[in-house]
């Protein structure tokens, strides 16, 4: 998997308008970057108010921080500023468009440390940057399949090439469900138990069906047929009839055959055999409905087994 880096320049350009950023000095350090996962290996805090003991990747300087610097004598102040830039932060950010001290600007210029200013308050910048950086550097993986929203949950349709994943997706679109991504959906772990799936920009709104080629789903079915992102909750895996044994015993009753680990999280999987006469669209919808029921605590298989056990208990010896 290729390394994912976020540079100071990329962060600035992406959030310039939203965070009302101005670049004061240190443009030569715009290529400074943090790598995905580095914050865990080095125990870095992604963003926070100025800290010279446990430095943040982005150091925010509000009124209190600037006032604290002003309270230091000349020697302590210069040593502190040297220590701050010596940690090589991704950027220093002055809040509320306060006047930037001349010595801070000078040392940022000398050390090529990006120094930004914003009209927003520190707490606003802190909350927004925490979300932005955590999202940008979260663990991410690309899987092969068609990712769709079915009955409000994210369902990834997987299987070997040529089994009809795209045809199944097209049938589901005709039944009112929505496409998130075809072929190479990207999944990001945005919370300990949440995988958010989205579509690469190159493949946005597109679905490839053998014999028909590439189709623009938004143009064909309208804006409501496409979803920007969705949480992954279920995998429907298409298999050839001879590639898997027919389920027996409890497996036949529960239907759900396994769980697939994705970025360390187990995602439930239903195996659907592709055979003549089987309506895969109906079966996929049923799998999604069954998963929703189980998430609510309703398990038909468990209820049946409980009835069966109760019946055996009542039977005479």
Q: Is residue 314 part of a domain?
A: no
Beta-strand runs (E) in the chain: 5-7, 21-25, 33-35, 45-49, 56-61, 91-94, 115-118, 140-142, 145-150, 153-159, 178-183, 186-191, 194-198, 206-209, 213-216, 229-239, 256-262, 265-273
Instruction: State the pLDDT at residue 115.
Output: 96
Instruction: State the pLDDT at residue 259.
Output: 87
Structural domain count of the chain: 2
Q: Same domain for 149 and 196?
A: yes
Q: Same domain for 81 and 147?
A: no
Q: Same domain for 112 and 145?
A: no
Instruction: State the pLDDT at residue 46.
Output: 86
Q: Same domain for 100 and 131?
A: yes
Of the residues 83, 88, 144, 240, only one is catalytic, namely: 144
- 123 is known as an active-site residue: no
- 165 is known as an active-site residue: yes
Q: Is residue 85 part of a domain?
A: yes
Q: Same domain for 37 and 118?
A: yes
Q: Is residue 315 part of a domain?
A: no
Q: Same domain for 246 and 147?
A: yes
Of the residues 32, 178, 182, 183, only one is catalytic, namely: 183
One pLDDT digit (tens) per residue for the chain, 317 residues = 445 688 999 999 999 999 999 999 999 999 998 876 655 555 568 899 999 888 899 999 999 999 999 999 999 999 999 999 999 999 999 999 999 999 999 999 999 999 999 999 999 999 999 988 888 888 889 999 999 999 999 999 999 988 889 999 999 999 999 999 999 999 998 888 899 999 999 999 999 998 899 999 999 999 999 999 999 999 999 988 766 555 555 556 666 567 899 998 999 999 888 888 889 999 999 999 999 988 888 877 777 777 877 777 776 65
Q: Same domain for 96 and 145?
A: no
Q: Same domain for 15 and 105?
A: yes
Task: Name the domain boundary from 136, 154, 174.
Answer: 136
Q: Is residue 228 part of a domain?
A: yes
Region for residue 20 given its phi and psi (left: phi exceeds 0; alpha: psi -120 to 50; beta: otherwise): left
Query: What is residue 297's DSSP assignment?
Result: T
Query: How many other C-beta atoms lie within 10 A of the C-beta of residue 40?
Result: 10
Of the residues 252, 278, 307, 308, only one is catalytic, namely: 252
- 291 is known as an active-site residue: no
Q: Same domain for 213 and 163?
A: yes
CATH code where residue 295 lies:
3.40.50.300
Q: Same domain for 40 and 121?
A: yes
CATH code where residue 98 lies:
3.40.1390.20
Query: Taking the model in full, what pTM does it have?
Result: 0.75
Q: Is residue 219 part of a domain?
A: yes
Q: Is residue 49 part of a domain?
A: yes
Instruction: State the pLDDT at residue 1.
Output: 46
Instruction: State the pLDDT at residue 65.
Output: 94
Quick check: helix, strand or coil at residue 284? Answer: helix
| Spatial distance between the Cα atoms of 231 and 70, rounded to a whole number of angstroms | 48
Q: Is residue 252 part of a domain?
A: yes
| Spatial distance between the Cα atoms of 71 and 28, rounded to a whole number of angstroms | 30
Contact, 288 vs 155, CB < 8 A? yes
- 183 is known as an active-site residue: yes
Give the domain extent around 211: 140-307
């Amino acid at each position: 998997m290729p390394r994912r880096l976020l540079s100071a320049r990329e962060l600035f350009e992406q959030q310039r308008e939203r965070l009302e950023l101005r670049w004061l000095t240190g443009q030569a350090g715009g290529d400074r970057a943090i790598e995905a996962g580095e914050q865990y290996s080095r125990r870095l805090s992604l963003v926070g108010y100025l800290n010279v003991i446990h430095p943040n990747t982005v150091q925010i300087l509000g009124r209190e921080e600037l006032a604290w610097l002003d309270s230091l004598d000349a020697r302590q102040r210069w040593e502190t500023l040297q220590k701050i830039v010596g940690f090589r932060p991704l950027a220093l950010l002055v809040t509320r468009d306060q006047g930037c001290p001349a010595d801070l600007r000078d040392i940022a210029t000398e050390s090529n440390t990006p120094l930004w200013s914003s009209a927003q308050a520190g707490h606003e910048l802190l909350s927004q940057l925490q979300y932005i950086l955590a999202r940008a550097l979260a663990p991410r993986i690309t899987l092969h399949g068609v990712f769709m929203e079915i009955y409000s949950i994210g369902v990834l349709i997987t299987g070997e090439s040529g089994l009809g994943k795209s045809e199944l997706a097209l049938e589901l679109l005709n039944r009112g469900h929505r496409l998130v991504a075809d072929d190479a959906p990207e999944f990001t772990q945005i919370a300990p138990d949440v995988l958010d799936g989205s579509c690469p920009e190159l493949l946005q709104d597109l679905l490839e069906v053998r014999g028909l080629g590439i189709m623009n789903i938004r143009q064909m079915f309208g804006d409501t047929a496409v979803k920007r992102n969705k949480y992954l909750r279920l995998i429907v895996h298409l298999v050839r009839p001879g590639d898997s044994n027919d389920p027996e015993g409890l497996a036949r009753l529960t239907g759900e055959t396994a769980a697939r680990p994705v970025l360390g999280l187990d995602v439930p999987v239903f195996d659907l055999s592709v055979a003549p006469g089987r309506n895969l669209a109906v079966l996929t919808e049923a799998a999604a409905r069954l998963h929703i029921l189980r998430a609510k605590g309703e398990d038909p298989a468990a209820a049946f087994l409980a009835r069966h056990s109760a019946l055996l208990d009542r039977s005479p010896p």
